[in-house]
């Protein structure tokens, strides 16, 4: 039993509701960029008393107080380049605040200015920062090209790198190493594509009249000062005279094209995939889908017909439609739905409560690539009362198989079959556990509701295990120490391959406690899904609905053989499972 206990400490644990999605921040070639000391490349813009430089000249803080905001700018203008900084935003109550990191030449070309910007919009306590990007060329403020997004992290907790690449051929906005937006130069854009030398700016100011909920929530100076921190500042470009556009010494006539020769100027296939995932998950407004504003999309827009269906004619995401799906029946699962909303993967244990005197029931399910219309659920009863003591619930997921365990007993195995295609989970997942009110469906189809007379309802977790290789969710870059072949590592550990006696134990469990299987639901699947191993004798025990013929089996289930179902011999108990 010592070996058995060791196993329970290693198997990935899931209870009540779990979702397997391992996130890890990746590194990129941005680490090789040359950092510029503040005094070498920048100067204060306004609010000098609210600009605080570090003693080593490598960092700067911008403060917003009740008296003024603050800002800084690059000392030179650049005819294209790469502009970047690590930034940490103010925390807590930040409604009404705007912090911008942008390039512009508005001080030189007031009516025909160009601009590329990150603009961060504060929020009330408990609500996340939002941000937008925008592109203007030649004073085209009446033809704004803004997009708005949420973030997958709290920008006030730690530094993240925000970067703008600007060349004659393209513009790319980055967060850390993730490209979030790319604009390819199109001749039809004409002067709307930024073309004149620009400086880099950073500012923080009071925008109470519009920044948060259209001006509903104002800056509350009770929480002042509001501090934005900047470090690892990068100016990678060729400085020029803003009027004559004469390059500085050492810059060639072809320096407009130099950024095209550096690593981060051309997106690799994996970066394009990462950008698409980010935009599917976090973009909630795009001018390209705002048909009220632009009945004909601007020429640089690459309209995806499927993606377009997610947005209203106002260009805003159809939140109502997506909200229902995310909070419906399947919330208690293992999934990556927060990253891949329409193509999510999921593996779940889902436990369904009951009225007094009736036992808990549970189900397992498998989804791949958003295959919610082809659910693979199975439903079971338990051979113990799960409220009396702790039991271990585990999910093993590899490229070759999925196994669900209760304690040391395997209860379900799905062998990867090429015919499953994208229905087999393949993208990085996180582990989740949740408890919530599902009165509308959970018990007898919604007949019995949650009775808060008995609240609070408590689920307890212990001995939590995460045994896997963490990856970046968008780029799928493994964390340090993980090899390229780590997809296969679980195949080398004990609990990834079922021994003959475990297969027998699993079969006994399923014969005894499974009361619904999609594999036998011929109304739903006249032809069983490809991974189903249909047992002709077992199939006779199920109706065409996939449900157990309770009347026929009831006597057997409560008769002589009940105590035999999952018993292991003493010799078997001594084996490593």
CA distance 490 to 487: 8
**Please, which residues have CB within 8 angstroms of residue 173's CB and are 6 or more apart in sequence?**
116, 118, 133, 162, 163, 164, 165, 179, 180, 181, 182
Token pair of 510 as six digits: 């399923």
Catalytic (active site) residue 350 = no
CA distance 197 to 109: 10
CA distance 59 to 348: 46
- Where is average pLDDT lowest: 9-18, 97-106, 412-421? 9-18
CA distances from 141 to 195, 290, 292, 294, 496 (A): 15, 16, 17, 14, 59
DSSP label at residue 43: E
CA distance 297 to 311: 14
| 29-319 to CATH, choices 1.10.3720.10, 3.40.50.280, 3.40.190.10, 2.60.120.200 | 2.60.120.200
Encode 475-508: b = buried (16+ Cβ within 10 Å), e = exposed.
Answer: bebbbeebeeeeeeebeeeebbebeeebeebbeb
Residue 189: band (very low, low, confident or very high) from pLDDT cuts 50, 70, 90: very high
Question: Which residue out of 2, 110, 119, 245 is catalytically annotated?
Answer: 119
Q: Is the pLDDT of residue 225 over 60?
A: yes
Task: List alpha helices for 305-380, DSSP H.
Answer: 305-308, 319-326
The predicted model scores a pTM of 0.58
Could you tell me where in the chain the CATH 2.60.120.200 domains are found?
2-19+333-574, 29-319
Q: Is the pLDDT of residue 259 over 90?
A: no
Predicted local confidence at residue 571, as pLDDT? 34
Predicted local confidence at residue 7, as pLDDT? 31
Q: Is 210 helix (H, G, I), strand (E, B) or coil?
A: coil
Residue 300 falls in which region: left (phi positive, over 0), alpha (psi -120 to 50) or beta: alpha
Span 285-307, average pLDDT: 92
* Exposed / middle / buried, residue 355 (Cβ in 10 Å: 0-12, 13-18, 19+): exposed
What percent of the chain is modeled with pLDDT above 90?
62
Q: Is 362 helix (H, G, I), strand (E, B) or coil?
A: strand
CA distance 341 to 402: 22
**Please, which residues have CB within 8 angstroms of residue 64's CB and are 6 or more apart in sequence?**
50, 70, 90, 97, 204, 205, 206, 219, 224, 225, 226
Q: What is the pLDDT of residues 41-60, one digit of tens each?
A: 999 999 999 999 999 999 99
Question: Which residue out of 115, 147, 378, 531 is catalytically annotated?
Answer: 115
| Selected residue with higher pLDDT from 442 and 575 | 442
Pairing of strands 283-286, 378-380: unpaired
CA distance 535 to 27: 49
Residue 550: band (very low, low, confident or very high) from pLDDT cuts 50, 70, 90: low
Catalytic (active site) residue 119 = yes
CATH 1.10.260.40 fits 2-19+333-574, yes or no: no
Predicted local confidence at residue 113, as pLDDT? 94
* Exposed / middle / buried, residue 262 (Cβ in 10 Å: 0-12, 13-18, 19+): middle
Per-position DSSP letters for 281-294, written without gaps between them? HHEEEEGGG-TTT-
CA distance 115 to 141: 10
CA distance 508 to 93: 57
CB atoms within 10 A of CB 51: 21
Q: Is the pLDDT of residue 452 over 50?
A: yes
| Selected residue with higher pLDDT from 319 and 86 | 86
Q: Is the pLDDT of residue 211 over 50?
A: yes
> Cα Rg for the chain, rounded, in angstroms?
29
Write down the mean pLDDT value for the chain. Answer: 83
CA distances from 165 to 150, 173, 175, 181, 245 (A): 21, 6, 12, 11, 19
Predicted local confidence at residue 338, as pLDDT? 58
Given a contact cutoff of 8 angstroms between Cβ atoms, the answer to whether 191 and 137 are in contact is: yes
């Amino acid at each position: 039993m010592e070996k058995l206990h060791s196993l329970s400490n290693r198997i990935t644990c899931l209870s009540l509701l779990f979702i397997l999605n391992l996130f890890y921040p990746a590194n990129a070639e941005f680490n090789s960029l040359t950092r510029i000391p503040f005094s070498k490349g920048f100067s204060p813009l306004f609010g000098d008393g609210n600009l605080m430089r570090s003693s080593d000249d490598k960092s700067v803080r911008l403060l917003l107080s009740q008296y003024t905001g603050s800002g800084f700018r690059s000392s030179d203008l650049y005819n294209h380049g790469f502009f970047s900084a690590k930034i940490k935003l103010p925390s807590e109550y930040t409604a009404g605040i705007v912090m911008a990191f942008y390039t512009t030449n508005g001080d030189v070309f007031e009516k025909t200015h160009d601009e590329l910007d990150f603009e961060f919009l504060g929020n009330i306590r408990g609500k996340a920062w939002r941000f937008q990007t925008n592109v203007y060329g030649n004073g085209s403020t009446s033809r704004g090209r803004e997009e708005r997004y949420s973030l997958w992290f709290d920008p006030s907790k730690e530094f993240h790198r925000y970067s703008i690449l600007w060349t004659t051929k393209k513009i790319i906005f980055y967060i850390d190493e993730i490209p979030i937006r790319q604009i390819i130069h199109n001749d039809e854009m004409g002067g709307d594509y930024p073309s004149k030398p620009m400086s880099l700016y950073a500012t923080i100011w009071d925008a109470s009249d519009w920044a948060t909920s259209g001006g509903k929530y104002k800056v509350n100076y009770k929480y002042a000062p509001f501090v934005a921190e900047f470090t690892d500042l990068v100016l990678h470009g060729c400085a020029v005279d803003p009027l004559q556009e004469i390059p500085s010494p050492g810059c060639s006539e072809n320096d407009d094209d130099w950024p095209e020769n550096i690593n981060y100027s051309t997106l690799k296939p994996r970066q394009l995939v990462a950008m698409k995932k980010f935009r599917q998950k976090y973009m909630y407004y795009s001018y390209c889908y705002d048909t009220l504003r632009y009945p004909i999309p601007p020429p640089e827009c690459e309209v995806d017909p499927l993606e377009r269906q997610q947005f209203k004619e106002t260009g805003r995401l159809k939140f109502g439609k997506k909200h229902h799906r995310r909070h419906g029946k399947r919330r208690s699962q293992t999934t990556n739905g927060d990253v891949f909303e329409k193509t999510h993967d999921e593996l779940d244990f889902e436990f369904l409560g009951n009225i007094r005197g009736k036992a808990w029931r549970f189900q397992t399910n498998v989804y791949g690539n958003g295959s919610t219309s082809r659910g693979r659920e199975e439903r079971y009863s338990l051979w113990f009362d799960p409220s009396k003591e702790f039991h271990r619930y585990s999910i093993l997921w590899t490229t070759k198989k999925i196994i669900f365990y209760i304690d040391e007993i395997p209860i379900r195995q799905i062998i990867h079959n090429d015919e499953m295609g994208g229905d087999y989970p393949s993208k990085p997942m996180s582990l989740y556990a949740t408890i919530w009110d599902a009165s509308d469906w959970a018990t007898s189809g919604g007949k019995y509701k949650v009775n808060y007379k008995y609240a609070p309802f408590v689920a307890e977790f212990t001995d939590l295990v995460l045994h896997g290789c963490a990856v970046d969710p968008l780029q799928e870059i493994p964390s340090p120490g993980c090899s390229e072949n780590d997809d296969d590592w679980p195949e080398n550990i004990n609990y990834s391959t079922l021994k003959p006696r475990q297969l027998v134990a699993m079969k006994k469990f399923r014969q005894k406690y499974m009361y619904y299987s999609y594999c036998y639901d011929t109304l739903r699947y006249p032809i069983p899904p490809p991974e189903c191993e249909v047992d002709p004798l077992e199939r006779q025990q199920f109706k065409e609905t996939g449900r157990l013929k309770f009347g026929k089996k009831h006597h057997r289930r409560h008769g002589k053989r009940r105590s035999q179902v999952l018993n292991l011999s003493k010799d078997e108990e001594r084996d490593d499972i």
